Structure 1
Amino acid sequence: MVTRRALLAAMAAGWARPVLGAGAPRIAAIDWAMAETAMALGHPPQALAELVAFRRVAPLPPPGSTADLGLRGAPNLEALSLSAPGLILSSSYYAFAEPQLARIAPVFSRALYVPGEPPLPKVTELLAELAAALGIPEAAAPVLASAEAEFAALAGRVQDRRPCLLLEIGDARHVRIFGHDSLYGGALEKLGLENPWAEGTRFAFYAPVPIERLAAFPEARLILIGEVPPQAQRALDRGALWNGLLPVRRGNVRRLPGINAFGGLPSALRFARELVAALETT
């Protein structure tokens, strides 16, 4: 929570303001995928919602001078106003707040995560759209070219083409499984790897899925994304159900750090890097 006292202290100290290119507005970001994209274009937001949590999963570190706007679903409008944005970056997730945001500055918003639709093409197209909105259309092409080259290089490093089941552990008996309409699923396809989860999802992932259903994927590698709750990890370590799974018995389990599941192209690239590095370990 951003308090009024903290806001006034920040104003007294003076927030550092990066020097932007000619015509590029100061920006504030409510949506994290938008924030990542702006950072990739070389114009990080001066203010960002849920800044502390963002830093934990961000593929690119925000500047130390970035102001915190509070919750994404209920941004602190005073903090937002004090950050003096010329443009506010949002998404369809926060359409309910757009009338309030628009009273402070113009809002740039896109529907990036839509159930049943792959998000990676959308966040890729966002590069050019946001670059144009920022008045720096020339910035998008080199970022996109670099991303495509890195995806190709990472795909070339993959030796074992077995399917990868992408999941998060919720508790000792349930997981969330990420489908083809997830950012992770799109990055997996860029690497030339198969996601064996063919069922639909409710919003990028399907949950809760009982752990026993993982037995239907004996040849897949289990890719665990993010931290496993300590209590769940202890239960898994001694649980017959988990340890009886063929991929677990064969050592075909890989762990990745927490990655923004609803991020932009930078998060898709980070997932690809982390996955390839994990697959290269024995």
Structure 2
Amino acid sequence: MSRVHRFSRRAILSAAAASAAARVLRAQDAGPRIATLDWALLETLLAIGANVVAATELRQFRQVAVKPDVPQGVADLGLRGTPNFEALRLARPDLIFNSNFYAWADPLMNRIAPVESHPIYKPGESPYILAEQATLAIGERLRLPAARRLVEDLADRLDRYKNLFAKGDGRPLLPINLGDARHYRVFGSDSLFGEVLKRMGLANAWAGATSYSAMAPMGIETLASMPEAWIVLIPPHPEDAFAALTESVFWKALPAVRENRVLTVGSINPYGALPAASRFADFLAEGFSYVRSG
């Protein structure tokens, strides 16, 4: 039976993570009190050390995005689509950052604190570039120099990884997320993950259209049309989907599976910003380094 490779980030990021965590903890002791409904903005704010006091669906965010860490004192506003505005008021934010996904809430939140919008996912526009722009704009607004460091450090790291992957087998990658044992969504060239692949000099095996993030659902049988690709499984997946898929006869017959060209990385927010892009790139770099040395 073919192996499915799983990887942690420890080997690459332990020292960097410790340093970043220390900077974030120091920064959160001061500065304006910030709230947000949007997860991409939340991970950005946490990564640059903003004083976040309220955000949405924090339990799920910790499971899906995983990093950056959410301080225990941050108030949970409930669902992104139906936030608790009373909890938001009680959190006493000085400023609220929002995105186009939740623009309907702007008039209500403006009664509590000023609202600034920073879209990251817009049809026809690069989510990576919009994420860079949002990071720099928020950093300037909050006077947090860590924002520019985040942008520059990630750009430098992607360049280094490009050199690393130039030594690989040249095969395209197919980044997917399972819906169930029979369907998946694929991240195309216009998604955040697709742009990370391009910046690292890697080809995306999916040549079809997507909608600035992912196309869903695709029948699992379409995997057979891309026999040359590495399959990159990006959690979270439904609890039983992965087990059911990997035990299926179809899955075991795929060339990528038979030839050990399957990587399962850690959970990543599919609608994330630069921290999600960084997490995806680091997982791939560590994963393929492990494959070559294994």
Task: State the match for 1:189 in structure 2.
Answer: 198
Deviates more, 1:138-147 or 1:269-278: 138-147
1:15-54 equivalence runs, <5 A = 18-20=28-30, 24-54=31-61
CA–CA distance in structure 1, aligned partners of residues 152 and 238 of structure 2: 38
Q: Counterpart in 2 of 1:198? A: 207
| 8 Å contact from structure 2 (residues 78, 84) kept in 1 | yes
Deviation at 1:138, TM superposition (A): 4.3
Q: Percent identity?
A: 40
User: What's 1:179 paired with?
Assistant: 188
Structure 1 outlier segments of 4+, above 6 Å: none
1:81-105 deviations in Å (ceiling 9; x for gaps): 1111111011000011111111101
CA RMSD of aligned residues (A): 1.8
Q: Relative to 1, partners in 2 of residues 1:137 and 1:258: Cα closer, same or farther, differing over 3 Å?
A: closer
Q: Residues of 1 paired with 2:278 and 2:130: CA distance?
A: 14
The DSSP-based 3-state class of the residue aligned with 1:278 is: helix
Deviation, 1:139, is: 4.3
> What's the counterpart of residue 93 of structure 2?
85
Greater radius of gyration (CA): 1
* Whole-angstrom CA distance in 1 between matches of 2:100 and 2:47: 21
For residues 5-154 of structure 1, the aligned pairs below 5 Å read 18-20=28-30, 24-56=31-63, 57-134=65-142, 136=143, 138-154=145-161
Farther off after superposition, 139-148 or 207-216:
139-148
Q: Is the 8 A contact 2:175 2:234 kept in 1?
A: yes
Q: C-alpha distance in 2, partners of 1:182/1:19? A: 35
Counterpart contact for 1:29–1:88, Cα < 8 Å: yes
User: How many Å separate the matches in 1 of 2:243 and 2:88?
Assistant: 43
Q: Which amino acid aligns with 1:94?
A: Y
1:218–1:247 Cα contact (<8 Å) kept? yes
Aligned equivalents of 1:264 and 1:55: distance in 2? 15
Q: 1:215 aligns with which of 208, 221, 224?
A: 224
Contact residue 139 and residue 148 of structure 2 kept, 8 A: no
Contact 2:233 2:264 in 1 (8 A): yes
Aligned length in residues: 262
Shift of 1:264: 1.3
| Correspondence for 2:177 | 168
Structure 1 residue runs of 5 or longer lacking an equivalent are: 1-16
Residues 184, 45 of structure 1: CA spacing in aligned structure 2 closer, same or farther, 3 A cutoff?
same
User: Contact between 1:58 and 1:267, CA under 8 Å: does it hold in 2?
Assistant: no
**Distance change >3 Å, CA 213–CA 121, structure 1 → 2:** same
Equivalent residue, structure 2, for 1:279: 288
Cα shift readout 1:41-60 (whole Å, capped 9, x = no counterpart): 22141111111111122321
Deviations 1:130-161 (A, max 9, x none): 12222x16443323222222222333332313
RCO comparison, higher one (Cα < 8 Å, 6+): 2
**TM-score, with length taken from structure 1:** 0.87
Deviation of residue 281 (structure 1)?
A: 2.5
